[in-house]
Amino acid sequence: MHILFQINALLRFLLEMITLIALAFVGFTKYTLPLNLLMGILVPIVIYVIWSICMAPLSPNRVGLLLRVTIEIIIFGLCSYMIITKISLRVGTVYGVIVALNAIMAHIGEGIYGSSLSIAPE
């Protein structure tokens, strides 16, 4: 069962990168000139900084579970909303469902195995 949570942790990292790429893509392609720079550059950078300070498993400033879940809902919900409104309802819905299932698995794995799942065997 431990390997399932490790695979989920890898998928979670990929989803975080996809989120930043999707936000930048939607920002650059679906907005006009002054707003596209804000949405395509500034929003992904702000989300990256928030994630690295508050959410990263080895961050010394990692926030509690309830605040982490709230930040995840805001970040992933924003990305899902932008995909739904600017690209496609189906793509945004699939993204939202995958992120939600991944988050549930990640928090279950964190509760069982601790805050960081290592790749090395124990």
Which pTM value belongs to this model? Answer: 0.83
Query: Would you say residue 2 has pLDDT above 50?
Result: yes
Residue 55 forms part of a structural domain: yes
Residue 41 forms part of a structural domain: yes
The first and second tokens of residue 45, run together, are 């950078």
Residue 122 forms part of a structural domain: no
Query: Would you say residue 9 has pLDDT above 90?
Result: no
Q: What is the pLDDT of residue 50?
A: 93
Q: What is the pLDDT of residue 115?
A: 60
Residue 119 forms part of a structural domain: no
* Residue numbers of the domain that contains 91: 2-113
CA angle 91, 80, 72 (to 5 degrees): 135
Considering its fold, how many domains does the chain have in total?
1
- CA–CA separation, 113 and 5 (whole Å): 9
Query: Would you say residue 1 has pLDDT above 80?
Result: no
Residue 96 forms part of a structural domain: yes
Residue 60 forms part of a structural domain: yes
Query: Would you say residue 98 has pLDDT above 80?
Result: yes
Residue 99 forms part of a structural domain: yes
Residue 36 forms part of a structural domain: yes
What digits encode the pLDDT tens for the residues 38-92? 889 999 999 999 999 998 888 889 898 899 999 999 999 999 999 999 999 999 9
